[in-house]
Amino acid sequence: MRDPPSTAVYAPHIHPATLPNDPEVDITCIAGNAPTHIKRLTCNTLLAHGFGTDPTAFGYHVGRAIRFVEMSIERNIDRADRLEATTIAEVTVTKHMLNGAGMLHGGCVTYLIDICCSTPLIVLGLFLSTNGIGVTQAMNVLFHAPSPLDSQLRIASTSISLGGRVMTSRCEIIDKGTGRPVASAFLNKMQPRQAKL
């Protein structure tokens, strides 16, 4: 695996090349034209900062249930001078994701969006030698339909902008069995400023 270009500025604790490989992810199962090392570094970043390695941590089991099936980088259709990254993830709704009514909990939907909608920014940042990792600043979520136990969900996320301080992406969650939209969202992330001493 090769390191991301040295021009990217990361805090030492989040540099993707310093993170351990996620042993549960088989990169060869992820389609798309993103380079293999970028797929690997993106998955490593999610393991370290998205859901972690502690099974008692918040969201660990939900995060571990997510499987990325595609990571791609393409020219923007409307602006050929811009690149955009797309990631597609899949997850099955399990019992620990449900609310009291037996449907996918809105908080769990938001967590899935926060994880999955961050990935095209990470992919594009690695590809462009810039930091695509940040902290969530804002999220606008629209809930369209409930998802019962055992629903197969497809989460398609696309980068919109990757600025030096603020980044934006969007995603749609679709029920694979019915084709029905479950939720859609816009996610803003930001690079926190280092405190000056």
Helices (H) and strands (E) in the chain, counts: 4, 6
Q: Would you state the pLDDT for residue 112? A: 96
The mean predicted confidence, pLDDT, of the chain is 87
Superfamily of domain 20-190: Hotdog Thioesterase (3.10.129.10)
What's the whole-model pTM score? 0.87
Region 65-77: mean pLDDT is: 91
Residue % of the chain over a pLDDT of 90: 59
pLDDT band at 182 (very low <50, low <70, confident <90, very high): very high
Tokens representing residue 60 in the block: 């660990």
Q: Where are the domains of the chain?
A: 20-190
Look-up: residue for tokens 């997850």? 91
Helices (H), ranges, the chain: 36-45, 60-65, 106-116, 119-127
The CA distance from 48 to 190, in Å, is 18
Look-up: residue for tokens 């999220």? 139
Whether 153 contacts 173, CB under 8 Å: yes
Region 1-20: mean pLDDT is: 56
Q: Would you state the pLDDT for residue 60? A: 86
The CA distance from 160 to 140, in Å, is 14
pLDDT at 143 over 50: yes
Q: Would you state the pLDDT for residue 2? A: 42
Element housing 190 (H / E): strand 181-190
